[in-house]
Structure 1
Amino acid sequence: MDKWLSHPTALKITSIVLAILLWAVVHFDSESPNTVASLIDTKVMEAVTIQTRGMDENLHDLRVLEPTVVRIMVRGNKADLIAAEEKEYKVYVDLTDIPDGQHILPLEVEHPKRIQVIQLSPAKVTVELEPVTSNDFNVAVNTTGTPGHSYKVGTPIINPGIVNVTLPNDMMEQVGSVIAEVNVNGKEDSFVEKKAQLAVYSKAGEEMTNAVIDPPTVEVEVPIIKPSVKLPLQLAMTGKLADGLSLVSVTPEVNQITVYGPQAELDKLTVFDDVSLNLSSIKQSGVITLDLSPPGKLAAVEPSKLNVKVEVAPFEVRTIPQVPVSLTGLQEGLEAVFTTPESGRLDLQVTGAPSVLAGLAAGDIELIANLEGLKPGTRKVKVQAVLPHYVEATAPEQLEVTVEITESEQVFVPGDGAAGEEPGEGETDPPVTPNVPDTGSGSGNGEGGTGETDSPDNSGNSGNGNSGGNEGSGGENSGDEGNSGTGNAGNGGNSGNTGTKGNTGSKSDPGNIDNTSSPGNSGNSGNSGNDNNETAENGGTGTIVDSTEPPADNSEAPGTNRGGNNTNAAGDPSGLPVNPMNRKKLAVHVVNHHVNIV
């Protein structure tokens, strides 16, 4: 040991250790007054915010706090000052049990340990407390943004719908609304905002940030209203059933589809036809599910799937006899008659399920021959068959008829006898009645019509004539040219018509003609049926009043003429033998010098 201590190296080491220990004792001894100046330092914080403690916010509102920040100077060991953060220094005013009104109160400071506050400026603050009150208010929702597809926002559902707002007494009257703001931008479906933040706004629209709201958030359910329309379903069918099968019925689960989308797109739709049934996939009866999707710019459809009940059965062939063919599209002024077949009816062979064909009749089928654009002549025309559902024609391409197209006949009566006058539109030429002896029997007096003339020297005179059942060549009919002719009771006259012509009223206006036949008499020159009423030569328009009285005994002998109509023994009202010119009775009316045939 002595040797180690006497060794020079050991002595040097020992000396260094002792020197270090002595230095440490001197510099770290807090009791030594010589070392304070070198280890202690100060720190200044210019703006520390003043906080409040102990104030009941349900009773008071801090209206004034002056000043709001203070200056702090602290002292401590340099190491402690460096280690402490500014947020550890807190300056506050204690408002516990402080009544409403204005008060000057001391400030208190919280600081880290081993650090001393040596200066606080200012040391006191002025506070003013205002009494507060609470009221309940309804919550309204303010939506921002635009939903997708131009949808509309419905009425939101708020839970809770009423909240409590606390404010100073003098500010409560300024409250305008309590608003929950919800963003709906791009939303396509209804949604729920779980925690919508509330804010109080004054009647001027400014946010009242000092308001206390309980609860501070609400739940808002926002419905998104999609414009929609219900459209009738139009189910298209594609493909072809397997050989030997025919449809009995196709019944969709619903008949209407609800379509959602922009209103402008919905306005363009009348039916929903964006779905089809593929018949080639059907092998037996059953239910087929079809997917429905929104077409174009539409957003959605309901339902999204469509169940269709399909019933099929083996088909049979049946012939429906004598189905009438309708002619359409014939040009005005033309007539058409069937030549093949003359009856205008066809036998139609159809296929379908037995239950579908069981009640099928000719009246359920429509055959149409379109004559549009065809000119006069003999034409073969294809026939289109319109059939009930699930019925098909076996050979629709072979359906045809042959028709004869001719121009319609026209009747024309010259107006003033002017040479070269042509018939006008809608006017027809009068029928030509040949002079054929009257073989009818009968007797009686016929009173001719009386006409008036415009010329004083062409006054209408009366002419007498005989009528009867004997054959003879008759003279001209009177009473039709403005004058009157009286037929005496015939005992077998020379003329089948009224006697000789009286004075013809030339260039006269017949005026109003009252042709009256006495009951039971055969007036041949009065109102002579369809062809007796004519205007006088170059005459104007007249009003015809035909007053025919029935016989007293309500009986008429064969060949009797009532109202001027000649009747022969065969009962033909024309008074002439039956011939092609007289097969169809013509009713002729005189209007403005023209003859209209009905």
Structure 2
Amino acid sequence: MDKWLSHNNVAKVIALIVSIILWAMVHLDSGTPVAPTPVVNTKVIPNVKIQVVGFDSDNYVLAGLETDKVRLEVRGKRTDITTNFSDYKVKLDLSDVEPGTSSQPLTHELPPGVQLVSMSPSIVKVTIEAKQSKDVTVNIVTKGQPAQGMQLGSPVVSGSGVVRVTLPESELVELGRVQGVVDINGIAEPIKGKSVKLVAYDKQGREMKNARIVPSSVDVDIPITKLYKNVPLEIREVGQLPDGLVVSSVESDVNGVAIYGSKEVIDGISSYSVFVDLSQFKGTNQTRYTVDLTPPEGSEKIEPSSVTITVKVEPPGEKQINNIPITLKQDNQQLTATILEPAENKISLQVLGAQEVLDKLKPEDIKITADLSGLGPGTHMVPVEITLPLHVGLAESDNSRQISVEIVENVEPAQTEPEVQPDSNSANDEDAVVSPSENVEGDNNGETNVGG
């Protein structure tokens, strides 16, 4: 054994074993852990949203962006590569980019300890367009129908009703209107100060989502009232004034009234009548009546509820009205009528009434008509119908007037023979034919004037 121990190689092996044992004893006693070898991983982060920074959105619009997402490939320790994708950021800085189309680089931000392997794409094409503004008047429309019996007024926008619309230059020329919608379905009371959101539409009626509207909403009032109709007030006179008085004027403090009710009812009303009984006149020259107004059948209300009628009277005056034309009323087109008496086809009348009324009276204000219906050819005495203006009467006690009228049948046009052209040998012959038209007298049109 001594021989084996004295061998050099054996001694070296023994020395190595002892060294390893001593080393292990030292490190086990110190408690120092042995560092493991680090493990590096790679990971792909897809669809990382590009964040645009430094862009002047007040004056420009990002009209085009080649892509808004990128693909990242990163590497690092397993503990550093997180699964929270919000820690991985890609940014596009447009702070110094002018309007137009250009390619811009992308930058990235990664979690600590993580390195970028690749980014696809790393450059993107962008298009920037300048904005322009335009002042537009707001249009407010209503949706639905108000409650039964209510009438909708026109919407009223507070302030100037004008807003400023900002759009890319290429889109601003297509701007059609700025509109707000108010739902009025079933409402029975006015709407006050309702905030209405505004939307811009192009000329084809499509919403322009890129539009910036300032202000974006407006306050609107929607007036609503009961359904009504304004109709004229008609004053009808009944009864007779005391002898020796005539009406100078009858006036009301209103010209018309408002009648409330359903559409079917008020559509059938064209006027409203009040009656004044002249036999109840009590004043010497003027009397005021207060007349209560009753809503027409089927209606709900009338405004005003009463009116004041003023009647003015005075002793009558007289005036002769000359040259009043006579109108013939005839239904037979085969007959022609001529007035024989009066020869001038006009009548004079002595009328009476208030002096103020007589001073304004003209011949054309009086209508005199003779009805020839049913009368045949011959001479006839025909009574005339006299229609006088309100508050004017005849001074004569006998209102009957007659005129003399001659009625004849219309003459058929004469039948003429064709004119015979003489030959050259008989131009001076005393038997040459003469056209009958050369011996016929009449007016240019073959018409007969009635009544001279």
The TM-score with structure 2 as length reference comes to 0.45
Q: Which one has a bigger Cα radius of gyration? A: 1
**Structure with larger RCO (C-alpha < 8 A, sep 6+):** 2
Greater strand percent: which structure? 2
